[in-house]
Structure 1
Amino acid sequence: MANASNATVVNLGVVPLPGSIHIESTFGAIFLGGCLSVILYGLCMHQTYGYYRSQYSDSPILRLLVAVVILLDTTQVALVTHSIYFYLVINYFNPAALLKAVWSFDLVPAFAAMITITSQSFFLTRVALLGFKFKIAAVVSAALLVVKLVCGLIFAVKGFQTSSIEFFSSNLLLFDIALGSASLANFIITGCLLIALRRANNGQHKGDSVNAWIVVNIVNTGGFILVGDLLAFLLALTKKDTMYWAMVYMTTSHLDIATLLSVLNSRKLSQHNNMYLLNPGEFARGGMSFAAAERLATAERFNVPQVGDAVLQPSIVDIKVTTEVEGDHPRAGAGAPGKGRMMSPV
């Protein structure tokens, strides 16, 4: 064993930081955002496992949607992990590297925007299925989410061009536009879903538990997404010299996926989603056309609150059963008893 007295001691002293970088409010905030991202990623993976296990007969489009957003989310977590490892581990004693924009960090906003617009397409469909007025709101929200995606792509391109971390501080307006448009889009989506829920419930479900009420009215309407986007937007406006807004921004895409999976896993699908008609004409004469049943199945598949005439109730079929009784009873027109069959309703 080597003698401790022979060990070489290197006095590193105080390593100066470049510029006016404050570790706690910049890379410390990014590190915390990465930790929160990993936690939320684990939650999303747990929900994904539950979805594919319980919703194995779901629409192929929705199953593909979940697979795509999880793939994007996994890629984003890998990018965040690589960027944190690059700054805080590989270049631990190289403060000059803090001014360099690593390629993985440049791609994070772009992937976050792609996750948002992909997962929010489900909620845009939910809103559009509510009616014509809601379709207009869905189109406006979609346009705002496209603005966020464009800003994320522009950031990635400029980040590769400059290769400097100072691009964050010099292009905060780009993030303000992205976060502001996302906040407004989620405000419209959440507001439309809450209005539809209020009209659909109309005083019903008062006996539901607090947890059920929170899931239906806050989680599944995108309430947590709206709070996250608004918080990131306000921090970007008020704390321009820090990266606290980025810490929150790194978690909002995970909230998008967690909300999507919460809605998918909390649906109550009826037999209209797996319906096979031997005689569609008879089904239509019974009170519900095939097209109406298909609309109902789509609404249930996207967990759309049923408002007004959109509520489709299945027709009630009154079935009478008759039985045949064989025994001794008087024949018709005859005075003597005999054997025959008698039909009696049940």
Structure 2
Amino acid sequence: MKWLILSVAAALSNSAVVHAEQSNLLFSVKNELLPQVVELDGVVQPINQGTVASQTSGRIVGLNVDVNDYVKQGTVLLEISAVQQSASLDAAQAQLASAIAQDRDAAAQVKRYRLLFPKGAISQELMDSAEAKARSSAAAVRSAKAAVAQAKESLGYTSVTAPYDGVVTQRHVELGETVAPGTPLISGFSTDKLRIEAEIPQRYQPSVNRVEQFEVVSPQGKRVLPIQYSLFSYADPQSHTFKIRLNLPEQINEFVPGMWVKTEFHYADRDTMLIPNSAIVRRAELSAVYRVNGDERLLNPVRLGQTYGDYTEVLSGLEQGDVISTMALNNQQGN
């Protein structure tokens, strides 16, 4: 993984890191908090992706999409022969009609028996038998209705539809093939909801505590703030890094699944002393600045750190409140 400390040009524009007296080209040294940022490599992934499988048996009689097609939710992707499913539905509906007829007959008989029973024309045994038959016929109606619902569901499985808006990535069957329940049919993903998956070195893992620490940079240079993150609680045994997933806002057109992007992670702030590059005198391996002491300009050696745009970090040699000249070249010519 390639990672490095990034430029702080944006931070310098938002915070007065240094205070200079521009009228006489003097610079007052001051410490400021400098954001520490590490750059992570990430890959764009769809949140919703998967493979649609067959839920019934039959032969493929229609293929309406191909790889790379964009489909809307509910679009019919393919059709499976429905002869067996239609026959099962017809049989279930016929069974339901028969059960309803028997239930009506049983209910009518119970109604008649209840009128005759108090007069002693019907025995208790016949009354109990009629009521049991009525209950059985009512249960048969419920069972037949469930069979019809199941048959309708099976018939609906013959038209396979898209579960969400997305792109078809793979077609697992061809026209005329016979499929069974569980056979993979179409694979695809949604482009509306995306996330970035990156790996964080273990030294930075304890510093992750909020989503605002991350910023994703598109190949076009657009910066996008994630809306949610998920940090894995275990490290990869090979790379010893922690995987993190950053959910992006919806409808971000600059990103597509599989794209490689940069993710900036602001893991800390460091108290840093910066001076303008124009104030630095470089002589062989020596770095120095002209420190102003009254009317004198004294050559003051300094040890420098990293460069951030027009400024360079001072590791030692200066203290807060020191005043230096910002025109090192003119000072060298004057000396």
Give the TM interval when normalised to the shorter protein: under 0.3
User: Which entry has the higher C-alpha Rg, 1 or 2?
Assistant: 2
Which structure carries more helix by proportion? Answer: 1
Which structure carries more strand by proportion? Answer: 2
Higher relative contact order (CA 8 A, sep 6+): 2
